[in-house]
């Protein structure tokens, strides 16, 4: 069945360093969504990308949707402690009535 | 990896009927499961936290008599939308948490699209 792979599972960075997480779908996606979940919290919707090759920015966060609409990335510039959490991507499933979730990438700031 | 399934993936029902949605953790035991509701292009909204063997904890504004949650085993939680109305039409997603720590990882189901006519 359709899968959304997300890597890496964890990323440890020093505060101020950059962070990137990648999602790859086994099939072409009509759109892809990104969520952030703080430790102990529930996922919060960040953005939805729809167009091929789309790039969107939210302050230090840059979201990209691949030309083939099968991959996406989230890049955070100069991480801060407030960025700590798990970032999930999710895309519509085969039936379009489902969301297929990536496994999430946990951003950890080294002490 | 940990897999969470939901059934059905899509349901269409008439106003006034009840709908049951199942959430299963397939390869792990989940002490805690969560039920979310999502409106288009909006964040997931936590409805309730379901702990195996005890009553669910509902978020403020969520009617517990309308959204019945049962967590009868460590691998199954159900959400029943009673006397459904068109305004209940939404995308319902469950997740299951590994472990008892509040910081345990959550694994999400694929969601159930409910349409009430």
Is the Cβ–Cβ distance between A21 and B18 less than 8 Å?
no
Task: Indicate which of A98, A100, A105, A108 best probes the interface with B, i.e. most B CBs within 10 Å of its own CB.
Answer: A98
**Residue ranges of chain B whose pLDDT lies below 50:** none
Q: If you ran DSSP here, which 8-state letter would residue B53 be given?
A: T
Instruction: Mark yes or no for CB contact A99/B91 under 8 Å.
Output: yes
Residues B83-92 pLDDT 10s: 999 999 998 9
DSSP characters over B74-87:
TTEEEEEE-S--GG
Report the half-sphere exposure of A18 (CA within 13 A, side-chain side): 9
Instruction: State yes or no: cis peptide before A105, omega within 30 of 0.
Output: no
Structure tokens at A70: 């099968």
Give me the residue label for tokens 């409910």.
B114
Q: Has residue A63 got a pLDDT over 80?
A: yes
From chain A, pick out residues whose CB is under 8 angstroms from the CB of B34.
Answer: 42
Number of residues written out for chain B: 117
User: Does A95 reach chain B within 8 Å, measured CB to CB?
Assistant: yes
pLDDT of residue B104: 61
Question: Other CB atoms closer than 10 Å to residue A19's CB: what's the count?
Answer: 21
């Amino acid at each position: 069945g359709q899968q959304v792979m997300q890597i890496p599972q964890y990323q440890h960075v020093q505060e101020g360093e950059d962070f990137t997480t990648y999602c790859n779908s086994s099939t072409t996606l009509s759109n892809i969504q990104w969520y952030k979940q703080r430790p102990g919290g529930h996922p919060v919707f960040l953005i939805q990308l729809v167009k091929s090759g789309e790039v969107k920015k939210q302050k230090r966060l840059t979201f990209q949707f691949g030309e083939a609409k099968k991959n996406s990335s989230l890049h955070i510039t100069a991480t801060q402690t407030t960025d700590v959490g798990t970032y999930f991507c999710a895309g519509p499933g085969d039936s379009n009535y489902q969301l297929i979730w990536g496994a999430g990438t946990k951003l950890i700031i080294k002490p | 990896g940990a897999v969470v399934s939901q059934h059905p993936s899509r349901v269409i029902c008439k106003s006034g009927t009840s709908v049951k949605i199942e959430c299963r953790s397939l390869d792990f035991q989940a002490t805690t499961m969560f039920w979310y509701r999502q409106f288009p292009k909006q964040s997931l909204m936590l409805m309730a936290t379901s702990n195996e063997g005890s009553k669910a904890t509902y978020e403020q504004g969520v009617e517990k008599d309308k959204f019945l949650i049962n967590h009868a085993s460590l691998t199954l939680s159900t959400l029943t939308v009673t006397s459904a109305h068109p305004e209940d039409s939404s995308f319902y997603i469950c997740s299951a948490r590994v472990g008892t720590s509040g910081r345990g990882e959550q694994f999400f189901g694929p969601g159930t699209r409910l349409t009430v006519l």
